Amino acid sequence: MTRETLVRTCLAQPEAIEDFPFGEHVSVFKVGGKMFALLPLRSTTPSVMLKCDPGKAELLRQQHPAVRASNFHKKHWNHISVDGSVSLEDIQEWIEDSYDLVVDKLPKTLKSRLQNKIRNLEK
């Protein structure tokens, strides 16, 4: 999986945007002004940092050597090395899960609108 594939997957989420609040070295993907993914621009192995439910985050770290606690926020964020040891489908699912976690915490009207868009995409 390439960085470009990760970017496309993140931007495929309804109303997701790419931003650079930490400088030009990392892409930050947001929905409703809240972060759900971070992608370094220059690294030898592509990687992505994703928000994750704390219980699931720990489980994924135990199951996959490519998944470790993020320096960003160890409890809620995982750093995934995209080295081929984790399937493309799993990483795409984790991106969607991260997006969904953020959407769940948004104001009610925005959350409802986005959840309707997600349901329409799933049809």
Give me the domains of the chain, ranges plus CATH numbers. Answer: 3-114 (3.90.1150.30)
Full-prediction pTM beyond 0.75?
yes
Residue 31 has pLDDT above 90, yes or no: yes
pLDDT (average), residues 10-38: 96
- The sheet with strand 26-31 has its strands ordered as 17-19, 26-31, 34-40, 47-51, 77-81, 67-69
Which two tokens mark 44? 């030898």
Q: Tokens 């991106």 identify what position? A: 95
